[in-house]
């Protein structure tokens, strides 16, 4: 499974549109009871790190936030409780569950 970690983003990084997220493919055993194993969390070794930024205003029609990643365009997100839906243009492309 792919685990995505949004790093803490300070105000200066947000203003520079330089927040970072990293991701890594991990075995299913890395997650139990919706929690990432402590040793993986403490020794996070990402496969890749990307820069992203989120537009301040949500799309009024779809109620989705627009998120911009390096090398991608037209991605929007909608958070429903503990689920994250990722859209490319108007097509749902990924669904993710939030870990505790």
Give the pLDDT confidence of 46-72 residue by residue, as tens digits: 999 988 888 888 888 888 888 887 766
Higher pLDDT, 56 or 11: 11
Centre a 10 Å sphere on the Cβ of residue 66 and count the other Cβ atoms it contains: 17
Domain that holds residue 68: 2-97
Q: Which two tokens stand for residue 39?
A: 């040793």
Mean pLDDT across the chain: 85
- DSSP letter at 9 equals -
- Rounded to whole angstroms, the Cα distance separating 5 from 94 reads 16
Give the pLDDT confidence of 74-95 residue by residue, as tens digits: 677 777 777 888 888 778 888 8
- Rounded to whole angstroms, the Cα distance separating 34 from 31 reads 6
| Average of per-residue pLDDT across 2-25 | 91
Q: For residue 83, what pLDDT is reported? A: 81
Number of domains in the chain: 1
């Amino acid at each position: 499974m792919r685990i995505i970690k949004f790093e803490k983003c300070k105000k200066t990084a947000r203003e520079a549109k330089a927040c970072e997220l990293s991701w890594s493919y991990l075995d299913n055993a890395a997650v139990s009871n919706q929690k990432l194993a402590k040793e993986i969390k403490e020794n996070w070794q990402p496969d890749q790190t990307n820069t992203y930024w989120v537009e301040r205003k949500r799309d009024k029609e779809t109620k989705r936030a627009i998120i911009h990643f390096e090398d991608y365009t037209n991605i929007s997100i909608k958070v429903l409780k503990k689920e994250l839906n990722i859209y490319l243009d108007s097509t749902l492309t990924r669904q993710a569950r939030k870990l505790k």
